[in-house]
Amino acid sequence: MSSTGRWWSGSWRTLEGVKTKPSRERLFHFAGLIPLFMIPWTGTTWAIFTALAAVHRFREGVWKFYASLGGGFARYMVIGMGSAYLTETLAVIDNLKRPPGERVLFNPNPLTDLYLAFAYYLPFILFWGLAVRRYDYSWKEVFLIGGATGILMEQMGAVFFSFNPLAWLYVLLVYGSYKAIPVLVAEDCLKKRKRRKLNAWKKVALGLLVEFTAFLLAGLLLWIFKGIGGIK
């Protein structure tokens, strides 16, 4: 190949790289608006995906704000539980229009549900927080692993065994988003830490361990919280 040909080929690859990345990001940001437009038909819960897209769109400002707070583990936990509670609040809003016996919540009473939500979400936020501090997980990897395992866990496997791809996608977006948001918020600080690198298979294996250990602990905490609150 001539020098001119090599220059043209290299320049084209560079231009492709410049164009592709922003276009993918714009596509992701626009996709994040879909839940808002679909609220009248699909409800509010998956608007947590909109929150994830918004954090990504304004991530540089978010990173600076997080760093200004000190970027410590306590701040990560607060943001993670905030993400979880936003998700549960959206779920409560979704379920208010249903009769109490048909509500898909920890408890038909909204306030009791939000009380129990702490017990359920805490292990997931805590264990993923510990994992991303030590290992080089990206927010996208947490989104995919956390969302995929959420399909298995939602309603004790009922969603998975429905074999409904749209239901699977819905749960993937909800579970993946609330777990990925704190990782994305802390991403810049996490990259500055000395974290152990793992290959893809080890990340999946550890991610599954995180998910199922958190699920078991969440069940135990729910039982304890119900006992403390005298909830049947």
| The pLDDT of residue 6 | 52
| The pLDDT of residue 14 | 44
Q: Note the residue count of the chain.
A: 232
| The pLDDT of residue 18 | 46
Q: Are residues 10 and 123 in the same domain?
A: no
Q: Are residues 18 and 43 in the same domain?
A: no
Amino acid of residue 44: T
In sign, the C-alpha dihedral spanning 62, 66, 71, 76 is negative
| The pLDDT of residue 54 | 96
Q: Are residues 96 and 26 in the same domain?
A: no
Q: Are residues 24 and 74 in the same domain?
A: no
| The pLDDT of residue 159 | 75
| The pLDDT of residue 21 | 58
Q: Are residues 5 and 98 in the same domain?
A: no
Residues 204 and 98: beta-carbon distance below 8 Å = no
Summarised one tens digit per residue, pLDDT across range 96-143 is: 999 998 998 999 999 999 999 999 999 999 999 999 999 999 999 999
Q: Are residues 8 and 39 in the same domain?
A: no
Two tokens, residue 177? 């988003």
Contacts of 210 (CB under 8 A, 6+ apart): 127, 128, 131
Domain coverage including residue 78? 33-229
| The pLDDT of residue 12 | 38
Give the torsion through C-alpha atoms of 138, 105, 160, 90, to 10 deg. -50
Q: Are residues 140 and 163 in the same domain?
A: yes
Residue 14: CB atoms within 10 A of its CB come to: 10
According to DSSP, residue 196 is labeled B
Q: Are residues 73 and 184 in the same domain?
A: yes
Two tokens, residue 208? 């599954």
| The pLDDT of residue 151 | 87
Contacts of 25 (CB under 8 A, 6+ apart): 56
Q: Are residues 197 and 119 in the same domain?
A: yes
Q: What is the pTM of this model?
A: 0.87
Q: Are residues 55 and 37 in the same domain?
A: yes
Residues of the chain with pLDDT below 70 are: 1-22, 155-158, 161
What is the tally of structural domains in the chain? Answer: 2
| The pLDDT of residue 131 | 97
Two tokens, residue 71? 């970027």
Q: Are residues 8 and 98 in the same domain?
A: no
Q: Are residues 27 and 39 in the same domain?
A: no
| The pLDDT of residue 70 | 87
